[in-house]
Amino acid sequence: MSQDGFRTGEIDTSRPHPARIYDYLLGGKDNYEVDQQAGDQLASAAPEVRIGVKANRAFLQRAVRYVVSSGVRQILDVGTGLPTAPNVHETAHEVAPDVRVAYVDNDPIVKAHADALLSRSGATSIVLADLRDP
């Protein structure tokens, strides 16, 4: 059990979750009503969040391109989030197809989605784990 009472391995759809709120704010479809309500509350308190999530995603792509162009060949992505194209490994492989990417997230929904996506990809893996328990 993690510090916030979340049991790794279980999917709790009764409470909003950061990955699904983020997915909702990005315009994705992998979220529930509780996540949409939380996302709308967040955006009404801080309207810039809708631009912020897109800017964050754009930064992620630029950062991956930069490190891979600089010679990095192994990436550890902690707090992966729900798959949103282009994902880290897809961006990395555009620059260098031999890059290996390990995704880590503590949300079983993220893992389920990533498992489905990564089954088609060789040099990537996903681990269900909590950053606070290294």
Ligand X SMILES: C[S@@+](CC[C@H](N)C(=O)[O-])C[C@H]1O[C@@H](n2cnc3c(N)ncnc32)[C@H](O)[C@@H]1O
Binding of residue 50 to ligand X (CB under 6 A): no
Distance CA 120, CA 87 (A): 13
Q: Which is nearer to ligand X, 60 or 123 (CB)?
A: 60
Contact status, residue 74 vs residue 103, Cβ threshold 8 Å:
no
Exactly one of 16, 19, 30, 75 binds ligand X (CB under 6 A); that residue is: 19
- Which two tokens mark 23? 């997915």
Min separation Cβ 31 and ligand X, Å? 12
Min separation Cβ 122 and ligand X, Å? 22
Min separation Cβ 78 and ligand X, Å? 6
Q: Which is nearer to ligand X, 91 or 93 (CB)?
A: 91
Contact status, residue 116 vs residue 30, Cβ threshold 8 Å:
no
Contacting range for ligand X; rule: CB under 6 A; set: 6-14, 39-47, 77-85, 114-122: 77-85
Binding of residue 86 to ligand X (CB under 6 A): no
Distance CA 98, CA 57 (A): 23
